[in-house]
Amino acid sequence: MNILMIAGVLALAAAAAAYAFGSRQPSASGTATVNVTLGGVAGQKGALMGAICNKDSFLKTCQYFAVQPAIAGNVLRFSGVAPGSYAVMVYHDENANGKLDKSANGMPLEGWGFSRNARGHYGPPAFDDARIDIKSGANDIALDMVY
């Protein structure tokens, strides 16, 4: 993983931290709910933080956020999502400090993941590699955490 991948995950960390300190999901005017099951979560410490982003906001500030204690389970639930094409980004803030911790060389020290288990090559994945189509009603997806 290089600096571009780390930048993308850090953007998620900043967005999730903003949510945790007062931002909220858009109103429930959307007609979709999204349940994201996270595989391979390492432990029950800290918080699981996630964001659902459209193409324009991918790796930036996203429209929808979910934050929950890791002890509460490994499913992030998003409500009020407008149907459309999105990508999901998540990270495991194991020490609950509101940021993705990294080593001195910039490698993530906490888990992260993208929808469709997208992985970038020398950087973050492209939006189209992580893209999912969210329909009206319930949408269930799964992704595997990378540590």
111: which 2 tokens? 């888990």
Provide the pLDDT for residue 130. 98
Mean pLDDT of the chain: 84
Provide the pLDDT for residue 121. 83
Range in 23-27, 81-85, 111-115 the model is least confident about? 23-27
Kindly indicate the confidence band of residue 135, based on its pLDDT and cuts at 50, 70 and 90: very high
Taking the C-alpha atoms of residue 89 and residue 51, their distance in angstroms, rounded to an integer, is 5
Taking the C-alpha atoms of residue 64 and residue 81, their distance in angstroms, rounded to an integer, is 7
C-alpha radius of gyration, the chain, whole number: 14
**To which H or E segment does residue 49 belong?**
strand 47-53
> Can you tell me whether residue 133 is helix, strand or coil?
strand
Residues 6 or more apart in contact with residue 67 via CB below 8 angstroms = 16, 19, 20, 47, 48, 49, 50
29: which 2 tokens? 């005017």
Q: Is the pLDDT of residue 100 over 60?
A: yes
Q: Is the pLDDT of residue 89 over 60?
A: yes
Share of the chain above pLDDT 90, in %: 67
Per the DSSP assignment, residues forming a β-bridge with 86 are 132
> Which tens digit of pLDDT belongs to each residue from 2-58?
444 444 444 555 444 444 433 444 444 558 999 999 999 999 999 999 999 999 999
Q: Is the pLDDT of residue 137 over 90?
A: yes
